[in-house]
Amino acid sequence: MLRIRLKDCPLFPGLCDYVQLVGGATLTAVRALQQNVADIAICWDGGRHHARKDQASGFCYVADCILAILALKRHIPPSLPSSEIDYPRGKHVSRKPRIMYLDLDLHFSDAVSEAFHSPTSSIVPQILVSKRFQEKYNRKNRCICHRP
């Protein structure tokens, strides 16, 4: 069941349609990239980086960033020509693509970071933030922030 924080996510007429349209637009953009229909795909109403799979938060009603990353992480089909993928020794293998998520907003993309955080991961992202931001989020144990 979806939880909505009414303080920062007010209900409005057409909310269910809105969620489906934003999620559908995001998946359409992913599909265009995966099928080589486009080199760049932009979902202008996307970028909802505070929503979780079961909770709307921060004026974000649909977790479309997470949805896009999960869809992009699916295996690359082995039917692509070998000129597009460097197969080892000419074999056709499928592999998961590497995805880089870059959030250019002025505040922390908490839901996306939480969705893909893994204590066993060998990849450690570096998050550069102000001291005030760092103190606020370290108190809540939501992220590990590194400063150079």
pLDDT tens, position by position, 11-46: 899 999 999 999 999 999 999 988 889 988 888 888
For residue 112, being part of any structural domain is answered with: no
Task: Please tell me whether residues 31 and 63 are part of one structural domain.
Answer: yes
Query: Is a pLDDT exceeding 50 seen at residue 95?
Result: yes
For residue 52, being part of any structural domain is answered with: yes
Beta strands in 18-70 (DSSP E): 55-56
Q: What is the average per-residue pLDDT within 57-85?
A: 76
pLDDT of residue 146: 40
How many structural domains are present in the chain? 2
Full DSSP string of 74-142: SPPPTTS-TTTS--GGG-----PPP------SSS--HHHHHHH--TT-S--------HHHHHHHHHTT-
pLDDT of residue 145: 40
Q: What is the DSSP letter of 3?
A: E
Q: What is the average per-residue pLDDT within 119-134?
A: 60
Task: Please tell me whether residues 89 and 122 are part of one structural domain.
Answer: no
For residue 33, being part of any structural domain is answered with: yes
Task: Please tell me whether residues 93 and 29 are part of one structural domain.
Answer: yes
| pTM exceeds 0.85, yes or no | no
Task: Please tell me whether residues 47 and 83 are part of one structural domain.
Answer: yes
Task: Please tell me whether residues 98 and 123 are part of one structural domain.
Answer: no
Task: Please tell me whether residues 34 and 64 are part of one structural domain.
Answer: yes
Task: Please tell me whether residues 41 and 100 are part of one structural domain.
Answer: yes
Q: Residue 131 belongs to what domain range?
A: 117-148
**Residues tagged active-site:** 50
Q: Encoding tokens for residue 92?
A: 């056709």
Residue 43 CB neighbour total at 10 angstroms: 19
Task: Please tell me whether residues 136 and 100 are part of one structural domain.
Answer: no
- What's the full length of the chain, in residues? 148
Q: What is the average per-residue pLDDT within 56-60?
A: 89
Task: Please tell me whether residues 82 and 123 are part of one structural domain.
Answer: no
